[in-house]
Structure 1
Amino acid sequence: MAAPIELLGVIEKKALETFNKRNINVKKIAVVRKSDRFSSGDIVIPAGCHEKQDDTVLCKLRETLFEDLKRSGVPVTKISGDDFNSVAIYLDRNSIFKETVGLVTAEKERYGLGKEKKDETVILCNESLLKCGKSDNADDISLEDLRSFLMQEHITHLLQSQSYNVLQLVEKKRFETLKSLFSQFGTGLSYFVEAAADTDTDKPEISEFLKCPYITRSDDNGKSNGGKYKTEGTCERPESEKDIGLVYEFDMKKYLQEKGLTVGKTGFDKNLSMCEVFSCDAPTELLNTSVLINNIIKDKNAKKCLHITGQSCAFSRQKVHLILQEIVEKNSRCISQKHFVYGPVTRRQECSDSNVVSADDLFRLRYAQLRQAAIMKYGEAVHGEGWAATLEALTAACIKFEMLSCVPRNTLKLDLSEEDMEGSGLATSVGSFVMYNCARLATLFKHFEEEVECDTYPPLPPVSDVDFSMLREEAEWSLLFNYVYTFPELVEQTVDNVDNCDTICAKIHTQKVCQMLSSLSRSLSSYYSRYHVLGEPRAQLLPTMYARLYLLKAVHQVMINGLASLGIQPLSQL
């Protein structure tokens, strides 16, 4: 069975061929996968895609398309149409249920990951993980820094799902400062490369870079003194000149023009011009950072570098990009660099008097809110190490959903009021809702196994023996078709243009997995409250129970895999 993207591609190709055979002028073919109201088709082609035709022509077209799709292996049962859609395709649900659930059962945690093995290493350079003037006090980690760390963790998993090797660059002292925060949020540390900031002025990379034709040398007042100190292209530093306050600048405007690099919306900032790279007999922070990244790239033989930066630092990271590019090219190597830029973090207007200013403040606030909610539900039972560990895991999950559900370039506005989560009326409890529904399924499967051990139910048969035609409810088809079947497509689409040479901007949709898990949890909660899964152990009811259990096992696996991409370990019970 074809994957979702491939399936739509096959249908589009065959539909276009059929329209052309019938001499029907097509404006632009659009094959749309529906997400609800499946009684009028699973996949449709809107009537506005082509010139108006009479019913006889459209009927013949549908008959021809049906035969073509069947021959191409598309699991279709019938094709009809209505006033809005000239083609409405109904898929063979039983076939798709069996194939998809069988695939999820076989692949488990590998489901949704890329099949193509890429022998490429991507270096992630997060300006918040390189010291760059950041505080060494863990209590001073800002909310914007926290957003960048959580985004980087998610991006790491998304790139790995596309079969990239990923290394995260972190300055050694900064790493020690952040270690407790990473532990608090369950952030994996196995991909971090420790690299101390390098200020050795005699490093060959620095001396070679200062000889490039785009370097201008002047005194520390910015004057050329009638050309006495100002030279271009051969900026070597004689021993006698070390103490006379020379300043070296990189002419980025000239560099952009001569290299033919794109300037504007999809390229570099038009205001890039002279950039100071060496002053007071020492390299600047920008040059140090560029050399540091270059050393890692050379050591790991990496071909790609992704700069993760806030909007306020995006301009300076473009300077690092150009300096690094010149250093790499002078060593006859090449590197593809992209920029992932995220927006600032602010508080909602009604929370202007909140004292939450750091990542640690936010964790304490969310922990207190979740603990209060647990006490209201479970009473005095909420105490002890077990509950503390559960609440810490839920707190980390809630904050991750809160930070990652927003489109990355947008400003993230947090609700920092001290009201309980439900009372605030805001989406701060999405993470706990997803975790609850995931734990609910784990509890269901555990209960089923206990009943099997008590001989209440027979054991679950192999998936190949299950009759999925028993799943007749639209809610069941929606769970599979909208979430399980399309999960690999969603993961693939989160990483959009890391390899695109036409722009320096990386489009990585860090909000998509969170939004999918939130929507899936709402659909699952609605289904679970309406339909019984473990019913009476009567022979005629067992086929439906088995089919539903396998469907929910597939849903559960998708939730586990989605949470894993966020660095969240699901709970077995709540």
Structure 2
Amino acid sequence: MEAERGGAGPVWVSETLRVLGTALTGSSAPPTAWFKESSQKNLRSRDFLVPRGALKKSFPDGETPEELLQKLTSLNVPGVPPIRTCQRSATGLVIQLDRPAVFHRVLKDFTPYLKPAPSISDSGQRVVILNCTPLHSCQRLETFKLSHLRAVLIADHLAEVLRSRGEQVHLVPAVRNKEVEVFLSQLGVSWPCSTEAPILEESVTSFKDYLKEKIHSNNIRLNPGQPVDESSQRVLFSVPLKSIAEEQKLCLQGYDPNLDVFLVNEEDLAHVARLQRSVRESAKTATPCVVLHVVSCEEEFHQQKLDLLWRLLDPGATLITQKFLICGPVKVLGSPAPVSGPQYFHLRKSQMREASVMKYGDSVQGASWDEIINSLTSAAIKFELMATPHRTQVTLNTEDTNITTKGTKSGAFVMYNCARLATMFDSYNCAVCQGLYPDFPPPGDIDYSGLSEEGEWLLLFNYIMMLPEVLSQSAQISLTSPGIRVTANTEVVCKFLVNLSMDFSCYYNRVHILGEPLPHLYGQMFARLQLMKAVRNVLHSALRTLHILPLTQI
């Protein structure tokens, strides 16, 4: 069967680019010449491209050998989709895939496309300790800032995508305040909660004893002063971090040059004790350990001090890789006073309810609508705080007009399209129960040749096949790179979901998926429904990394 040409397993965009690059250059070096097309205009004629300028690096005369074209057209490699044509054009060397065969390969079993693409970690299997620093000091809900909320949401998402890639992840610290725990659960944040174990008190006591022993030899001063204000903890020790680090020949590259004296309080020692305990627990697995501090920008300087204090208190910490992922500030427009995370949640929830009432009227009431509005609010806030690169400032608008149930750039719009899909499948299942449609056939028996709409290929090629790449990109953090700062692509999932929702919405509004109950129309309807099943599952899988429950009705 033509649809099976090239094998029966899943196909991967990254693997295709690698194989095409190797075929072009004859080298196993990372491919740089080939590009995957994504715009609807270009996808009308090609799926992959080598620009003419790049071709000249391999073929100075500008002529691509005919045997190379034949080789590329006849590629039969696991992980690479079947190719229909490979041609020279004015833009360069272009490839168009055998689209009916690709539809069949992907849609007969789309489950491999719901998780990160297969890859080899830059350091092999490891334990990643995600230290969300705002949660150490935030012991009351009133002190939970928007910048704290942004850091927590990013850490929560990172934990999910790292686990989906096979990493072992430990979350530090456990939430100790019940109000903070309830607030985070409203947002779907999956974070451990517990009271402090006695072993933590023992560690803090041992740290105090150690610092007291070092008072004379390292210029450490005991109880140097009172707290700055009533909200501050009492200072226990004054530790000249920079001079001690230089004496112990610790590398300070990447640290703030103004690091000097650290006024250490009880909470600082508890913070170090929690990290130490988590590292010791992970050491039981005999797996390399990396500590990733997810820090709001205003707390980075303090966390660098804690990093060096940990090395002073625990010699074993010098062997632990510590990296910093910095979250930019959150600015609120139209608010004369600072807005806390809980205040912003309640504001957005109120606005979402008002927008829902304006659209759906008096039906917006009862437990089911409360769940819908909570879900919409959680999605809206997460997309607002996470759709921007983590190191960039987020600017929020508190005006009522900034929140709607269908704004195309919002998390609520993504949820709305999840509900549309759920409603469509409910309609199909009801029609089956009424005898209007036959039962759904096995996906491998469906004829996908009727999927010829531009929007159908767009949904498959840009989204269903690309989710593994997006999830891998979101979790791509070089924890072995030099320096102490790292970057992650935590914004890509939100952007992916918004773009998918817009393209799905255009397709859904243009194409009649559930056709007339006539036998000669069933083939195309089943192909489209299977495509929609894949879109639905892609939406749900991507939302799962954000801990957002998709809506099933609205």
* TM class, shorter-length: 0.7 to 0.9
- Is the counterpart of residue 6 in structure 1 residue 15 in structure 2? yes
Post-superposition Cα deviations, 1:467-513, rounded to whole Å, max 9, x if no partner, equal: 11211111111101101101011101112224324232232211110
Q: What displacement does 1:155 show?
A: 1.4
Q: Which residue of 1 aligns with 2:295?
A: 309
Secondary structure at the counterpart of residue 319 of structure 2: coil
Q: What displacement does 1:210 show?
A: 6.8
Q: What displacement does 1:35 show?
A: 0.2
Give distance in 2, aligned partners of 1:94 and 1:214. 78
Q: What displacement does 1:432 show?
A: 1.0
Q: Which residue of 1 aligns with 2:169?
A: 166
1:461-500 aligned at under 5 Å gives the runs 461-500=441-480
Q: Which residue of 1 aligns with 2:89?
A: 82
Q: Which residue of 1 aligns with 2:232?
A: none
1:34-45 aligned at under 5 Å gives the runs 34-36=37-39, 37-45=42-50
Give distance in 2, aligned partners of 1:213 and 1:165. 39
Distance 1:102 1:68, change over 3 A: closer
1:161-240 aligned at under 5 Å gives the runs 161-170=164-173, 173=176, 175-189=177-191, 191-192=192-193, 194-195=195-196, 203-205=205-207, 207-208=209-210, 216-217=218-219
1:552-563 aligned at under 5 Å gives the runs 552-563=532-543
Q: Which residue of 2 aligns with 1:51?
A: 56
Give distance in 2, aligned partners of 1:441 and 1:214. 70
Query: Match for 2:281: what amino acid?
Result: D
Give distance in 2, aligned partners of 1:124 and 1:290. 14
Q: Which residue of 2 aligns with 1:241?
A: none
Q: Is the 8 A contact 2:204 2:269 kept in 1?
A: no
Q: What displacement does 1:45 show?
A: 0.5
Q: Which residue of 2 aligns with 1:147?
A: 150
Secondary structure at the counterpart of residue 510 of structure 1: coil
Q: Which residue of 1 aligns with 2:97?
A: 91
Which one of 260, 270, 279 corresponds to residue 273 of structure 1? Answer: 260
Post-superposition Cα deviations, 1:12-50, rounded to whole Å, max 9, x if no partner, equal: 1111129x9xxxxx9x94210000221231000011114
Secondary structure at the counterpart of residue 306 of structure 1: strand
- Is the counterpart of residue 345 in structure 1 residue 330 in structure 2? yes
Q: Please, which moves more after superposition, 403-412 or 54-63?
A: 54-63
Q: Quick check: which has more Rg, 1 or 2? A: 1
Post-superposition Cα deviations, 1:276-326, rounded to whole Å, max 9, x if no partner, equal: 45xxxxx65434422331122213427221111111111111122223234
Give distance in 1, aligned partners of 2:203 and 2:18. 56
Q: What displacement does 1:157 show?
A: 0.8
Give distance in 2, aligned partners of 1:538 and 1:217. 88
Secondary structure at the counterpart of residue 80 of structure 1: strand
Query: Match for 2:479: what amino acid?
Result: D
1:312-461 aligned at under 5 Å gives the runs 312-328=298-314, 330-331=315-316, 334-348=319-333, 351-353=334-336, 357-419=339-401, 421-422=403-404, 430-461=410-441
Q: Is the 8 A contact 1:158 1:565 kept in 2?
A: yes
Q: What displacement does 1:259 show?
A: 4.4
Q: What displacement does 1:406 show?
A: 1.2
- Is the counterpart of residue 515 in structure 1 residue 495 in structure 2? yes
Q: Which residue of 2 aligns with 1:235?
A: none
* Identity rate, percent: 28
Distance 1:443 1:422, change over 3 A: closer
Q: Which residue of 1 aligns with 2:230?
A: none
Distance 1:298 1:218, change over 3 A: closer
Distance 1:107 1:83, change over 3 A: closer
Secondary structure at the counterpart of residue 346 of structure 1: strand
Q: What displacement does 1:571 show?
A: 1.3
User: Aligned pairs, how many?
Assistant: 524
Distance 1:292 1:201, change over 3 A: closer
Q: Is the 8 A contact 1:218 1:246 kept in 2?
A: no
Distance 1:253 1:407, change over 3 A: farther
Q: Is the 8 A contact 1:116 1:163 kept in 2?
A: no
Instruction: Flag structure 2 segments of 5+ consecutive residues without an equivalent.
Output: 1-9, 225-234
Q: Is the 8 A contact 1:496 1:506 kept in 2?
A: no
1:84-123 aligned at under 5 Å gives the runs 84-85=91-92, 87-104=93-110, 106=111, 111-112=115-116, 120-123=126-129
Q: Is the 8 A contact 2:493 2:542 kept in 1?
A: yes
Give distance in 2, aligned partners of 1:192 and 1:334. 28
Post-superposition Cα deviations, 1:313-344, rounded to whole Å, max 9, x if no partner, equal: 1111112222323444x248832221111011
Distance 1:221 1:532, change over 3 A: closer
Q: Is the 8 A contact 2:69 2:87 kept in 1?
A: no
Give distance in 1, aligned partners of 2:259 and 2:99. 56
The TM-score normalised by the length of structure 1 is: 0.82
Distance 1:81 1:213, change over 3 A: farther
Q: What displacement does 1:177 show?
A: 3.4
Secondary structure at the counterpart of residue 275 of structure 1: strand
Q: Is the 8 A contact 2:297 2:326 kept in 1?
A: yes
Q: What displacement does 1:256 show?
A: 5.8
Give distance in 2, aligned partners of 1:504 and 1:219. 29
Post-superposition Cα deviations, 1:132-190, rounded to whole Å, max 9, x if no partner, equal: xx452x244222222122222111111111212222223554x323022022212224x
Distance 1:254 1:331, change over 3 A: closer
Query: Match for 2:75: what amino acid?
Result: L
Give distance in 2, aligned partners of 1:162 and 1:273. 39
Query: Match for 2:521: what amino acid?
Result: L
Secondary structure at the counterpart of residue 432 of structure 2: helix
The TM-score normalised by the length of structure 2 is: 0.85
- Is the counterpart of residue 128 in structure 1 residue 134 in structure 2? yes
Q: Is the 8 A contact 1:443 1:573 kept in 2?
A: yes
Give distance in 2, aligned partners of 1:6 and 1:261. 39
Secondary structure at the counterpart of residue 219 of structure 2: strand
Q: Which residue of 2 aligns with 1:239?
A: none
RMSD: 3.4
- Is the counterpart of residue 156 in structure 1 residue 159 in structure 2? yes
Q: What displacement does 1:426 show?
A: 7.9
Distance 1:157 1:550, change over 3 A: same
Secondary structure at the counterpart of residue 401 of structure 2: coil
Give distance in 2, aligned partners of 1:510 and 1:380. 38
Distance 1:61 1:246, change over 3 A: same
Distance 1:563 1:253, change over 3 A: farther
Secondary structure at the counterpart of residue 270 of structure 1: coil
Secondary structure at the counterpart of residue 163 of structure 1: coil
Secondary structure at the counterpart of residue 427 of structure 2: helix
Q: Which residue of 2 aligns with 1:280?
A: none
Q: Which residue of 1 aligns with 2:510?
A: 530
Q: Which residue of 2 aligns with 1:289?
A: 271
Q: Is the 8 A contact 2:128 2:168 kept in 1?
A: yes
Q: Is the 8 A contact 2:24 2:68 kept in 1?
A: no
Q: What displacement does 1:410 show?
A: 0.8
Q: What displacement does 1:567 show?
A: 0.8
